[in-house]
Amino acid sequence: MTRTLSGDLEAAARIGALDDGGISRFAWTPELREVTQWVAQELERLGLDVETDAAGNLIGRWPAPAGKAVMAASHLDTVPHGGRFDGVLGVLGAIEAVRILRRADFEPVRPIWIAAFMDEEGSRFGTALFGSRAFCGQDVSASLDARDADGITMREAMAAQGFDGDRVGEAARVDEVGAYVELHIEQGPVLDARSERVGLVEAICGVLGYRVALDGEANHAGTTPSEMRHDALVGASRVVLALRERAAARPELSATVGRIRALPGGTNVIPGRCEFTVDLRAATAGSFEAEQVWFERMVAEVCAEEGLTSTVDCDYAVPPTPMAPEVTAAIEAAALGEGITPLRMVSGAGHDAMNVGLYAPAGMLFVPSRAGVSHSPDEWTAVEDCELGARVLADALRRLALRTDI
Ligand SMILES: [Zn+2]
């Protein structure tokens, strides 16, 4: 039976499918193992050398005489009740790309690797990008001790599938990679809204995660005149609006307050304390640094005017990852070969490419997400767009696998 990308996507979508909609495949679960084993069979069917590394990453290698590998990868795990394209398309699209190259009797000058990284989403243990972090040789020991909702550590879950957490360092192989390409759905509305079919990612946004607490004075809601109040929630509201205004004026920036709590929380009490989170994303190193300075100054100014004090804790500061010009050029040339000028854009969402891109030249291409919906059972990308993505990926791999200079 002839394999097709749409048939493969259908088959993968059945593994971990839930009765009430969507797909759940989390790290070190039977569902993720089943889909990974199925993909491993497909890689073997293509004649690749298949292995699973110490971090659970599945890698299929198409050997070639010399040089570092050209790698195409993404992930097979999902968010809870996730869709059928996020991650999976990058792996199955890479398989389709190899089929295309095989049919054309292509002979790579350098190896081509197809991979599925373990636990990109971090749905079970809160350990996002685990597999690609291990592949890049980063320290993942803290992730091994993370616990799921049942109190099981990742180390224990790995052991149950025959993996030894102490050996995860053996997965570090990024220095064997010469170029990296990831096909992914956009997970946003831009391509669909503009009727564009291919997005060329120029950078993956950096992310700043803050926890902020503003302290004022709790007091009686009926007896305290406006000018004598130190209302922490009013201060927080000004911060929220300042963030919106800042991001609205800067296309490379997004800002979100996703959680907020006013204390003590009485209907007739002026909030004496307000705690909230801030998620700030910036596409360039310059704006990433400028926004940190601006944000902390803005909070201080609001507090001075409202008579509040503030505590601003930065939980994480992951800088933006620019994509490599030589890889984006290969993707662009491949898209032009399909008669399509790709839309240059930044990725607001994180991907495995942001890890690999720190160590090896990396690039990403996006295909449209219908109405921008993702991380949902309603996630949808048209079959023609998936197939187009695979053809562009194939030609980008072909171009990169013929180069000897990177
Ligand atoms: Zn993804």
How remote is the CA of residue 184 from the centroid of ligand 1, in Å?
7
pLDDT (mean) for 185-190 = 96
pLDDT (mean) for 173-192 = 97
The confidence score (pLDDT) of residue 390 equals 98
Nearest by Cα to 138 from 172, 164, 180, 170: 172
* 253: pLDDT strictly greater than 90: yes
How remote is the CA of residue 72 from the centroid of ligand 1, in Å?
14
* 368: pLDDT strictly greater than 90: yes
10 close to 81: Cβ distance less than 8 angstroms:
no
How remote is the CA of residue 265 from the centroid of ligand 1, in Å?
38
Share of the chain above pLDDT 90, in %: 95
Share of the chain above pLDDT 70, in %: 100
What separation in angstroms does the CA of 318 have from each of 242, 289, 311?
22, 11, 21
The confidence score (pLDDT) of residue 73 equals 98
The confidence score (pLDDT) of residue 167 equals 98
Q: What is the C-alpha separation between 149 and 137, in angstroms, rounded?
A: 27
* 81: pLDDT strictly greater than 80: yes
How remote is the CA of residue 346 from the centroid of ligand 1, in Å?
15
Give tens-digit pLDDT for 36-60: 999 999 999 999 999 999 999 999 9
The confidence score (pLDDT) of residue 151 equals 97
How remote is the CA of residue 79 from the centroid of ligand 1, in Å?
9
How remote is the CA of residue 268 from the centroid of ligand 1, in Å?
45
How remote is the CA of residue 143 from the centroid of ligand 1, in Å?
19
The confidence score (pLDDT) of residue 316 equals 83
* 77: pLDDT strictly greater than 90: yes
Nearest by Cα to 82 from 116, 56, 120: 120
Give tens-digit pLDDT for 214-226: 999 999 999 999 9
pLDDT (mean) for 362-373 = 97
Contacts of 117 (CB under 8 A, 6+ apart): 57, 73, 74, 75, 129, 131, 132, 135, 352
273 pLDDT band, cuts 50/70/90, is very high
Nearest by Cα to 394 from 1, 66, 57, 46: 46
Residue 284: Cβ within 10 Å count = 18
How remote is the CA of residue 300 from the centroid of ligand 1, in Å?
36
How remote is the CA of residue 20 from the centroid of ligand 1, in Å?
22
- What does the DSSP assignment read for 380-404? ---HHHHHHHHHHHHHHHHHHHT-S
How remote is the CA of residue 174 from the centroid of ligand 1, in Å?
20
201 close to 323: Cβ distance less than 8 angstroms:
yes
Sign of CA dihedral 86, 367, 94, 351: negative
Contacts of 104 (CB under 8 A, 6+ apart): none
69 close to 115: Cβ distance less than 8 angstroms:
no
Nearest by Cα to 357 from 119, 139, 174, 110: 174
How remote is the CA of residue 90 from the centroid of ligand 1, in Å?
8
Which residue in this structure is represented by tokens 């296309």?
A: 251
How remote is the CA of residue 364 from the centroid of ligand 1, in Å?
12
In this structure, which residues have their CB less than 5 angstroms from ion ligand 1?
Answer: 86-87
Contacts of 258 (CB under 8 A, 6+ apart): 277, 279
Mean pLDDT, the chain, rounded, equals 96
Residue type, position 406, single letter: I
As beta bridge partners, residue 403 has none
* 313: pLDDT strictly greater than 80: yes
Nearest by Cα to 201 from 392, 373, 59: 392
Domains and CATH numbers, the chain: 5-204+320-401 (3.40.630.10), 206-318 (3.30.70.360)
Nearest by Cα to 29 from 123, 95, 130: 123
The pTM (predicted TM-score) of the whole model is 0.89
How remote is the CA of residue 374 from the centroid of ligand 1, in Å?
9
How remote is the CA of residue 349 from the centroid of ligand 1, in Å?
8
pLDDT (mean) for 179-208 = 96
How remote is the CA of residue 350 from the centroid of ligand 1, in Å?
8
How remote is the CA of residue 229 from the centroid of ligand 1, in Å?
46
How remote is the CA of residue 225 from the centroid of ligand 1, in Å?
51
